[in-house]
Structure 1
Amino acid sequence: MPRIEPFEAHFSEYDRWFDDHRFVYLSEVAALRHFIPEGGTGLEIGAGTGRFAVPLNIRIGIDPSPQMRAIARKRGLYVLGGVAEYLPFRDKQFDLALMVTTVCFVDDMKKAFKEVYRILKDDGSLIVGFIDKDSFLGRTYLNKKIKNKFYRYATFYSVAEVVSDLRYAGFCHVAMVQTIFDHLNDITSVQMLREGYGDGGFVAIQASKATALATNR
């Protein structure tokens, strides 16, 4: 079952976090935007309150929390109820899929990635944004996990673990960028992007369907 209880009970607090940590949020949006193509039909999986889909011009979302969906709809997102492992869409429907801090809450990451692969067009791509378990920020969340009403239910992953499951699903790793190099309360401007991973707490990975890459070789 999706771990939605804390989001249902504390949806206003969740949404307010992005205002209270504005430059952390904008830094994460910038990392994701680095990989967002122009045009095409996009889907955010685990869209929450629409904080990422809306500024990234993604019009469709899916989320298991009714309270979160209600806020996302007020922001103009067309959002359906559902979970990543069972997407209610036809094969090869989307050019782009986005998952932001979603993988840590899914029940089966491999199955979720396989579903995303199914609904993407042959030249489509998946962008995954998450807290790297092996980063300073990941270690901070792990140490405080039991006291955090949201992340106490999360399973954190390393970059290697996420990439491994992407490849298992059929994706090819294309590129990644990282951001968030300081403690959250010390961030007072949008942080820079760096290629790769290892220093930043937030990593954005772009992965493309293997069929598309094979065609272009």
Structure 2
Amino acid sequence: MLPIGTIVNIAAVIAGGSIGLVAHGRMPDRVRTIVFQGLGLCTLVIGMQMAFKVPNPLVLIFSVVLGAIAGELLNLEDRFMALAEKLKKKVGSKSDHFTDGMITAFLIFCVGPLTILGAFDEGLRGDPALLLTKSMLDGFASIALASTYGVGVLFSIIPLAIYQFGLTFFASSLQTIFSDPVITALTATGGTLILGIGINLLELARIRLSNLLPALVIVVLITMALGA
């Protein structure tokens, strides 16, 4: 089955990101700064809305802490930076925010119930409606992200494609894993990471978000282990 929803989603990100890149190149520094700050504030709101869905705060805390430890031990941030540098050289980009753009866009596009439920709907019932709705939202978001971060946002389609194609093709087996409680816990943990994006955008601190990504796996394992 051809995953129409994910294909359209990728096309929407490319189209929106391309528009954002045109705007990015024409923005004065003071405008770019206020766009960063505005996007940071909006990202904080999105992150809080998602994080407040947490059913069990202890699960969230353990997942984030254990994920941070795992990420630091695996040195994910530096590994992603090395991969990003290779991509930058291949595409000839000089953006200082290439990696940040990829990670930020990936989290915003892929962490949330609409991604999982949409992929399941298309994989199990052949209905791409939810992913088509998500595509429209991601398209507009990619305009703002690319105008802020640059070309790195466009390369978020690589993990986006892997993630959504995987969920769609293996929907029947993954549906038992991604129960409603797991999706809720995963959404809350993703929201916490998105809060980190807002903090980085506002330059309140520098959070190595790549090293927190294992939390998204750990929260699924903990929630399943608790039989939620």
Does the alignment reach a TM-score above 0.5?
Answer: no
TM-score, normalised to structure 1, is 0.29
Larger RCO (CA under 8 A, 6+ residues apart): 2
Instruction: Look at both structures and tell me which one has the larger radius of gyration over its CA atoms.
Output: 2
Of Structure 1 and Structure 2, the greater helix share is in: 2
